[in-house]
Structures are given as C-alpha cells and as structure tokens.
C-alpha cells in the first residue's frame, strides 16, 4: 500500500511545484511586458521548464493568467484575514490599545503591492475589463476584501466608540480605492518599493481621518490644538528670555 501511494504523492508534489514555479514566472513576465506581449516561451524560460511542462499543466496562456489572477487576489484577502486574526489575538482591538490609523495601516500593509505587484494588478484589471469570466472573479475577490476591511472598521469603531460618516462597507471601499490609487501614482512617479508603501500609508491615514465622525476625529483636533498652544507658550517664553 505504501509503495503504491508514495510515488503518487511524489508525483503530485512535483506537479504542484511545477505549477507554482510557472505561476511565479508568469507573474514576473506579465508584470514586465503585459499579457499580450508575454509568450509561453518567455514564461517557460523564466521558470526553467519546457513547453511540454507548460501544456501538461495549463491549456493556454489565458488559463494560466486566470489562475494567476485568482491566486493574487485570494492571497491578498488571505493575508488581510490572517493579519486581522493576529491583531485580535494581540488585543489590538480592545478599547485600551486600539488605534484606528495604526491598525488599518498594519492590516493593509501585509497585502500592499510593490512595483511588480502594482504592474501585475494593473494588468489583471485590464484583462478583467475584456474578459467577463475574469471580471466576475475579480469583483468577487474585491468584494471579499472590502468586507474584510469593513469588519476591521466595525471592530475598531465598537472598541473605541468611533462613528463614521458613512456605512462601514462604503468606508472600506473608499479606503481601498485610495490605497490602490496611491500605489499606482507612486509607481508612476518611479518610487521604489519602500516609497510606494510610504505613500499608500500616508494617504490612507488622511482619508481614514476624513471618514471618522466621532471621538477619534475630535481627539485628533484636540491634539493639534494642544500642539499649537504649546508652540505659542514656547514662543512667549523665548520672547521673555530675550527681554
């Protein structure tokens, strides 16, 4: 029994490994040159396999791209879900520790795109616009991501007594639109990976602050006023010393 199942298990692992390497190579090639210009040969060369290995795993380049798109979007949702679970275990959503901007930044950072990721996601969206099957899959994954972020917003709001200027799902949509848009703009400005992350984080913090309609917004205003008052006191002290 063992002698029969072991070779089968080994063959399955080998096939899965081949598919994974082809998908990894395709992500790089598609991001670099786009779906239309990418050839099966280029993907095979990057992965270190023959065309035979490719066609034993995928019927076409489009099938490969569709699976890659699903893997990328599912990976983003999974990363967000896992990070939320970690933060809950750490007690990050409790009233004592919760910080809306910091938590959102930590959650979205795990699925943030580097330059290659921005290019790949742009290519996926373009292809989804032309392919109804991919469009449906993309929108489903996008909605799942929005719901995950909306749940985070709900949990933080409950813990901190924060209210928002719109329903949580709409707020999540706005945040994700800003996050993705800022990543694209940073990539267009030729920012490196760290620059892309920094730009998306800062713009996300700004829009999150605009969406808050409760104590956190008031407390942020109070902090600004306190800083202004402190600056005035420091200036007055400086004037007295000069006299």
pLDDT value, residue 197: 83
Residue 221 has pLDDT above 60, yes or no: no
Within 10 A of 120 (CB to CB), how many other CB atoms are there?
21
For the segment 124-138, what is each residue's pLDDT rounded down to a tens digit? 888 889 888 888 888
More confident residue, 6 or 111: 111
Give pLDDT, residue 44. Answer: 97
User: What pLDDT score does 17 carry?
Assistant: 93
What is the tens place of the pLDDT at every residue in 145-195?
A: 889 888 888 887 887 788 889 999 999 999 889 988 999 999 999 999 889
Domains of the chain: 7-58 (1.10.10), 62-222 (1.10.357)
Share of the chain above pLDDT 70, in %: 79
As a whole number of angstroms, the distance between CA 196 and CA 183 comes to 6
What are the tokens at 53?
Answer: 């290995």
Angstrom distances, CA of residue 17 to CA of 22, 41, 74, 79, 165? 9, 19, 19, 21, 47
More confidently predicted of 148 and 108: 148
Higher pLDDT, 114 or 18: 18
What pLDDT does 240 receive?
54
Which is more confident, 194 or 240?
Answer: 194
Nearest alpha carbon to residue 128 among 138, 120, 119, 118:
138
Q: Band the pLDDT of 220: cuts 50, 70, 90.
A: very low
**Average pLDDT over all residues of the chain:** 81
Q: Which of 20, 141, 152 is nearest to 82 (CA)?
A: 152
Using CA atoms, how far apart are residues 93 and 91, in angstroms rounded to an integer? Answer: 5
Q: Could you tell me which residue, 208 or 240, shows the higher pLDDT?
A: 208
For residue 53, count other CB atoms closer than 10 A to its CB: 17
For 27-70, the pLDDT digits (tens) are: 999 888 988 899 999 999 999 999 999 999 999 988 898 888 87
Helix locations, the chain, DSSP H = 2-33, 40-47, 51-55, 61-89, 100-109, 115-130, 132-160, 168-188, 193-211, 215-242
Query: Hey, is 70 helix, strand or coil?
Result: helix
Pair 80, 148: CB distance under 8 Å? yes
């Amino acid at each position: 029994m063992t002698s029969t199942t072991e070779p089968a298990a080994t063959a399955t692992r080998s096939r899965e490994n081949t598919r994974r390497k082809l998908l990894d190579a395709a992500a790089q090639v598609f991001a670099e040159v786009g779906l239309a210009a990418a050839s099966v040969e280029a993907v095979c060369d990057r992965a270190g396999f023959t065309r035979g290995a490719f066609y034993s795993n995928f019927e076409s380049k489009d099938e490969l791209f569709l699976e890659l798109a699903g893997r990328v979007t599912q990976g983003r949702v999974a990363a967000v879900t896992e990070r939320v679970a970690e933060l809950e275990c750490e007690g990050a959503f409790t009233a004592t520790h919760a910080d809306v901007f910091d938590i959102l930044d930590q959650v979205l950072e795990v699925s943030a795109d580097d330059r290659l990721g921005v290019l790949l996601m742009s290519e996926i969206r373009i292809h989804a616009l032309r392919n109804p099957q991919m469009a449906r899959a993309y929108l489903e994954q996008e909605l799942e991501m929005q719901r995950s972020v909306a749940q985070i917003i709900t949990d933080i709001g409950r813990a901190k007594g924060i209210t928002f200027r719109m329903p949580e799902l709409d707020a999540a949509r706005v945040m994700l639109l800003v996050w993705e848009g800022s990543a694209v703009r940073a990539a267009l400005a030729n920012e490196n990976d760290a620059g892309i992350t920094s730009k998306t984080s800062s713009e996300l913090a700004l829009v999150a602050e605009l969406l808050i309609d409760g104590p956190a917004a008031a407390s942020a205003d109070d902090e600004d006023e306190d800083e202004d008052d402190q600056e005035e006191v420091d200036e007055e002290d400086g004037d007295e010393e000069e006299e």
